[in-house]
Structure 1
Amino acid sequence: MAKIKKMFVCNECGYESPKWMGKCPGCNGWNTFTEEVKDESINNFKRAVTISSGNKPKSITEVKSSEYERLDTGIGELNRVIGGGLVKGSLTLISGDPGIGKSTILLQSASNIAKKYGKVLYVSGEESEEQIKMRAERLKATCNELYIVSETNIDIIEEHILSMEPTFVIIDSIQTLYKATITSAPGSVSQVRECTNDLMRIGKTKNIPLFIVAHVTKQGELAGPRVLEHMVDTVLYFEGERTQEFRIIRTIKNRFGTTSEIGVFEMKESGLEEVTDASSVFLQEKSMQQEGSVVIGILEGTRPILVEIQALASETKAVMPRRTAVGVDHQRLSLILAVLEKKLKVPFYNSDVYVNVVGGLNVDGTYGDLGIVLALISSIKSREIKLENLLVIGEVGLTGEVRPIAHAEKIINEAVKMGFTNIILPEKNKAKITNKMVNLIGVTTVKEAVSKIF
């Protein structure tokens, strides 16, 4: 008779324990253990079966290297974030909030690939085939080579893949799949891990690229065990609000390309449409001369983007003034405020400070430091920036100096294209710029920058 026993498994790292524990020894997470039932006969069967692949160790000099063959998804922004197209045999995980557009973009890319390369299989465990057909008709993504099936059993899905031999497979979503030999419920650590392992084996052996949709938690993190991110080749995250029309796909992990690229999309009735000129999107509501508003330039991967930063400083009677940053690192804001109080003697200790990046974009790095400085001074002094069509770039150090940034020329070329005529930048960057179509104002300190503007 099969021996059944209960185990407690950590949802974050997959650590197993015979008893429940409040804190996981593996990842130090609290209240992450869930109870699962394990069948010992299955483990004994696995130990009894040995598989020889016939592979032998080779010298690295003997291994032939070649470029990965990629499939064009027909969506330029999606190709950008995954490194130029789908690599055959790759496993890509895409996650995001409910209703953000994950299924929409996958159905659009599935239709494009089916028209260009042949059979594509769309497996859905959350929607019926009729629901998928209705969405496909709305998106005009119907194609004879696009096959859909509503199934959650991983063994049956494997049979469909082996019999069809498609060029591309989409799984929507991994939390709904289950393996009959595992007794725990779909979405549990064991089920997600085993089903992903089976999909990875199918994709690698049959040289089929797979897209897997994953749910997110209320905190915005990837649902399921953390090991899921380590197993796949690429992790994409859909950002944006359901009430906003713009969406951003960001690469978190990519074994076949860079992890710093983003793709910008606009949600319309006909589906997600790619936005090739992102700067115009983030500046479309910009009025150039407003108190507390400055345009900065940032670099997302290889793409320069111009965004508007708004700052508001208002006097408060509270003992502890508020510091709120949306789209900007909170620690970075505190550092800049400290520099302004020390070097410029501008008091912020009696003011609430709010900083916001317009459009919902998150500014990483130090590209926007000098822009935040000028926006804060403009707001607290209630003075508009008189220079028209002004762009500001530069990093601010703790001693009040303005430090140079990387790829300044790319950002300036984008600014020229967008019609900016005045650019404040670090003096060291100015010496290397060859573009003479704009008025370049070089600065070395925060005090100098403020004096030149106000």
Structure 2
Amino acid sequence: MAKNRTVYVCAECGGTTPKWQGKCPHCNAWNTLEETVESSAPSAAAHRYAPLASSSPVRSLSEIEARETPRQPTGLDEFDRVLGGGLVAGAVVLIGGDPGIGKSTLLLQALASLSETTSVLYVTGEESAEQVALRARRLGLATGNVNLLAEIRLEAIQAAVSEQKPTVAVIDSIQTLYSGELTAAPGSVSQVRECAAQLTRLAKQTGIAIVMIGHVTKDGALAGPRVLEHIVDTVLYFEGDTHSSYRLVRAFKNRFGAVNELGVFAMTDRGLRGVANPSALFLSQHEQQVAGSCVMATQEGTRPLLVEIQALVDSSHAPNPRRLTVGLEGNRLAMLLAVLHRHAGVSTFDQDVFVNAVGGVRITEPAADLPVLLAIMSSLRDRPLPRGLIAFGEVGLAGEIRPAPRGQERLREAAKLGFSVALIPKANAPRQPIEGLEIWAVDRLDAALDKLR
């Protein structure tokens, strides 16, 4: 008879310990240990952990022939962009996002498109088969060739996939599955880790592309052990406000393509539709120039985007002025305000400063430094920036303005959308003039502010 024992598993690293502790002894994360019950018997099932491929002799890396991996387009151009061109045979994709943001809708649309040329399987563990069929009918999808399985037991899913042999399989969601080999409840750390590992092994052995939907925590991170993201080949995040009609899909890990690629979708009554010109989404259409607004050219993967940065500077009525950012890094704002005071002589110690990236997009690159400071100065002086101005550049602690990568692509995108003036780092100044775009190249913060006086 198998004996069950209680262990505590870390939700961050997946490490186990026999007793509860405030801090994980493996990764030193606090309050991440979760109680689970493990069975000690089925470790003899060695076939579950068979190697992914047959063993081969040791060879020199230069002797191994490198081949381009063929891709299976999903029929959704923005989704293919994030994936790196399409799905790869044997790849495992994990996509996470807030509830109701459109994960199941997107994948159902992708399977409906793929079913026209290849075999697909949709495994639903959260909804009944009738609910999925109702959604497909509401979206107007042709799902005659989409196979559906309502199941949460891992062994039954593995048998169905082995029997059907689809080209692409979708698991909705990984947190609802459970393996009969473990006694823990579905959604626990051990169940999520085991089910993900077994599905990954199945994908590598059979060449079936598997897409798994994952839940997220209240902090926006994927629920379950951190090892879940290491197991899979691609990690995608759905971003955007559920009250807005626009959704962003961003790649944070991709073994078959570039990371930080961004796909932009619009939610309609017929499902998610790709947005051909996403720059227009992140620009406010003001009838006249307003203070506190600056347009920046950012780079998301291989795609240049124009995003409007808005700032509001107001007198503070509290001992500690507020510093609040939406879509930008909060700690970097405090640093930029210190640089503005030290190298431009502009103090905001008695002002509340609020900065927002329009459209719900998140900007992580430091090239947003200069546009943020220009928007702050515009709001502080209550004077709009020149019409048609675009800016980008990183601001250092010494007051210098550093170049941003792919500056030429950013400038061409700005010229294409009708901007006439670009305030950029001197190192990004183009060698050949860009038609319709005047270049203001600066190397210091005070020189950039002097251009606007």
- Shorter-chain TM band: over 0.9
| 1:409–1:433 Cα contact (<8 Å) kept | no
- Residue number in structure 1 paired with 2:131: 131
Q: Distance in 1 between matches of 2:17 and 2:400?
A: 54
Equivalent position SS for 2:110: helix
Gaps of 5+ in 2: none
- Residue number in structure 1 paired with 2:178: 178
Distance verdict in 2 for CA 1:346–1:194, change over 3 Å: same
Larger mean CA deviation between 52-61 and 344-353 belongs to 52-61
Residues 329-387 of structure 1, C-alpha deviations (whole Å, 9 max, x = no match):
222212221122122221211111111111111112222222112211111112222x2
- Residue number in structure 1 paired with 2:265: 265
- Residue number in structure 1 paired with 2:400: 401
| 1:369–1:395 Cα contact (<8 Å) kept | yes
| 1:115–1:143 Cα contact (<8 Å) kept | no
Q: Which amino acid aligns with 1:39?
A: S
| 1:296–1:309 Cα contact (<8 Å) kept | yes
- Residue number in structure 2 paired with 1:84: 85
Distance verdict in 2 for CA 1:222–1:88, change over 3 Å: same
- Residue number in structure 1 paired with 2:313: 313
1:50-69 matched pairs, under 5 angstroms: 54-59=54-59, 60-69=61-70
- Residue number in structure 2 paired with 1:250: 250
Residues 204-223 of structure 1, C-alpha deviations (whole Å, 9 max, x = no match):
11111000001011111110
Residues 276-333 of structure 1, C-alpha deviations (whole Å, 9 max, x = no match):
2111111143456111111111111111101111111111132211111111222221
Q: Distance in 2 between matches of 1:108 and 1:400?
A: 49
Q: Which amino acid aligns with 1:78?
A: F
Larger mean CA deviation between 376-385 and 128-137 belongs to 376-385
Distance verdict in 2 for CA 1:24–1:421, change over 3 Å: same
Residues 374-423 of structure 1, C-alpha deviations (whole Å, 9 max, x = no match):
211111112222x2211112222223232322211111111111111122
Residues 113-171 of structure 1, C-alpha deviations (whole Å, 9 max, x = no match):
1112x221000000011100011111222332211111011111111111111111000
Equivalent position SS for 2:178: coil
Q: Which amino acid aligns with 1:95?
A: G
Equivalent position SS for 1:248: strand
- Residue number in structure 2 paired with 1:161: 161
Equivalent position SS for 1:299: strand
Q: Distance in 2 between matches of 1:345 and 1:48?
A: 69
Equivalent position SS for 1:297: strand
Taking structure 1 as the reference length, the TM-score comes to 0.95
1:208-227 matched pairs, under 5 angstroms: 208-227=208-227
Q: Distance in 2 between matches of 1:10 and 1:439?
A: 55
Q: Distance in 2 between matches of 1:20 and 1:314?
A: 48
Distance verdict in 2 for CA 1:54–1:430, change over 3 Å: closer
1:313-332 matched pairs, under 5 angstroms: 313-332=313-332
Distance verdict in 2 for CA 1:431–1:125, change over 3 Å: closer
Q: Distance in 1 between matches of 2:56 and 2:411?
A: 53
Q: Distance in 1 between matches of 2:137 and 2:71?
A: 27
| 2:9–2:33 Cα contact (<8 Å) kept | yes
Q: Which amino acid aligns with 2:333?
A: L
Question: Taking every aligned residue pair, what percent have the same amino acid on both sides?
Answer: 44
Deviation at 1:436, TM superposition (A): 3.3
Q: Which amino acid aligns with 2:3?
A: K
Aligned alpha-carbon RMSD (Å): 1.8
Deviation at 1:47, TM superposition (A): 6.0
Distance verdict in 2 for CA 1:47–1:281, change over 3 Å: closer
1:382-393 matched pairs, under 5 angstroms: 382-385=382-385, 387-393=386-392
Is 1:415 matched with 2:414? yes
Distance verdict in 2 for CA 1:284–1:347, change over 3 Å: closer
Equivalent position SS for 2:41: helix
Q: Which amino acid aligns with 1:206?
A: T
Q: Distance in 2 between matches of 1:446 and 1:287?
A: 30
Q: Distance in 2 between matches of 1:178 and 1:78?
A: 29
- Residue number in structure 1 paired with 2:115: 114
Q: Distance in 2 between matches of 1:101 and 1:242?
A: 9
| 2:415–2:435 Cα contact (<8 Å) kept | no
| 1:402–1:443 Cα contact (<8 Å) kept | yes
Deviation at 1:51, TM superposition (A): 5.6
Gaps of 5+ in 1: none
Equivalent position SS for 1:223: coil
Q: Distance in 2 between matches of 1:93 and 1:71?
A: 17
